[in-house]
């Protein structure tokens, strides 16, 4: 393919770290610089599965913990065909949360191990870059709207952070930790620089499979 494939770039981090803000800014900046880039987010709440997840998160409905975990994973799998098509057409995908959130949140619950949590997402397109937006729970709580949805409480968030640290120790994945306490603009500039470098590096490399 002439221009090569697009990069799969994931933003992860604690709630309120600025993942959605930075994902949007990155896609806009890449497009403005003449790159082809699209924004994705998980959960993608517009599908049937996504609406069920949305109702669970807003506490409109209860679901058994294993069921919710598998639904979050299914919500990623239902987008895999279109993700692969876009990447192979040379479109870079910026993804607001991915399988790492899935594993970190469920494994923070009682009686869930990391290995069980990873299985449903094994084989998803493997990110070329995972940016972990780091922010202390105190700084996160000081940002808007914290505490309305399920999972948005301090003790649970601390367990989620521990799970993320376990996942970040895996050297087969390209994690980069970013200081999310910086201003939106400063953080954006840093993210754009690493993203463009990754896009250049992976364009002639095959797309990998996650945790395989």
Which one of the spans 79-87, 177-185, 190-198, 200-208 is the region binding ligand T5A (CB under 6 A)? 177-185
- Alpha carbon of residue 81 to chain centroid: 18
Q: Residue 177 contacts by C-beta under 8 Å, 6 or more apart in sequence?
A: 132, 134, 168
Q: CA 46 to CA 202: how far, in whole Å?
A: 30
Q: With respect to ligand T5A, which residue has the nearer C-beta, 4 or 29?
A: 29
**Position 21 contacts Na ion (CB under 5 A):** no
- DSSP 8-state assignment for residue 203: T
Would you count residue 20 as binding Na ion (CB under 5 A)? yes
- Toward ligand T5A, which CB reaches closer, 5 or 19? 19
183 is in the binding site of which of ligand T5A, Na ion, none (Cβ under 5 to 8 A by kind)?
Answer: ligand T5A
29 binds ligand T5A (CB under 6 A): no
Choice between 144 and 206, CB closer to ligand T5A? 144
Q: How far is the CB of 1 from Na ion (least distance, A)?
A: 32
Report which residue's Cβ sits closest to Na ion. 20
Instruction: Give the burial string for 190-202 (b: 16+ CB within 10 Å, else e).
Output: ebbeebbebbeeb
Tell me whether residue 191 or residue 202 sits nearer to Na ion (CB atom): 191
From CA 140, how far away is CA 157, in angstroms rounded? 10
Q: Cα angle vertex 82, ends 80, 83, to 5°? A: 60
Q: How far apart are CA 212 and CA 201, in angstroms?
A: 21
Residues in 93-122 that interact with ligand T5A by CB under 6 A: 97, 101-102, 105
* 34 lines the binding site for ligand T5A (CB under 6 A): no
Q: Quick one: 124 or 187, whose CB is closer to ligand T5A?
A: 187
Interaction of residue 134 with ligand T5A, rule CB under 6 A? no
Q: Is 174 in the site for Na ion (CB under 5 A)?
A: no
**What token pair was written down for 207?**
């797309």
Q: How far apart are CA 25 and CA 45, in angstroms?
A: 21
Beta bridge partners of 40: 95
Q: Which is nearer to ligand T5A, 19 or 118 (CB)?
A: 19
Note whether 71 binds ligand T5A by CB under 6 A: no
Smallest distance, ligand T5A to C-beta of residue 183, A: 6
DSSP 125: B
- Which stretches does DSSP call E strand in the chain? 8-13, 37-41, 92-96, 129-134, 175-179
Q: Which spans of this chain sit near Na ion (rule: CB under 5 A)?
A: 19-20
């Amino acid at each position: 393919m002439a221009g090569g494939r697009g990069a799969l770039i994931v933003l992860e981090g604690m709630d309120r770290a600025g993942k959605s803000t930075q994902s949007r800014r990155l896609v806009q900046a890449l497009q403005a610089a003449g790159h082809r880039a699209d924004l994705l987010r998980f959960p993608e709440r517009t599908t049937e599965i996504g609406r069920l997840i949305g109702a669970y998160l807003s506490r409109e409905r209860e679901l058994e913990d294993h069921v919710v975990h598998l639904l979050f994973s299914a919500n990623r799998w239902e987008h895999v065909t279109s993700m692969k098509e876009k990447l192979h057409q040379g479109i870079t995908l910026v993804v607001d949360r991915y399988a790492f959130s899935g594993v970190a949140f469920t494994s923070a619950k009682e009686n869930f191990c990391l290995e069980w949590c990873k299985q449903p997402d094994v084989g998803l397109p493997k990110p070329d870059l995972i940016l972990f937006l780091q922010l202390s729970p105190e700084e996160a709580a000081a940002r808007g709207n914290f505490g309305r949805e399920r999972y948005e409480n301090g003790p649970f968030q601390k367990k989620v952070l521990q799970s993320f640290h376990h996942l970040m120790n895996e050297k087969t994945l390209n994690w980069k930790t970013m200081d999310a306490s910086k201003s939106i603009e400063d953080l954006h500039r840093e993210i754009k620089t690493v993203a463009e470098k990754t896009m250049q590096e992976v364009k002639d490399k095959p797309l990998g499979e996650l945790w395989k």
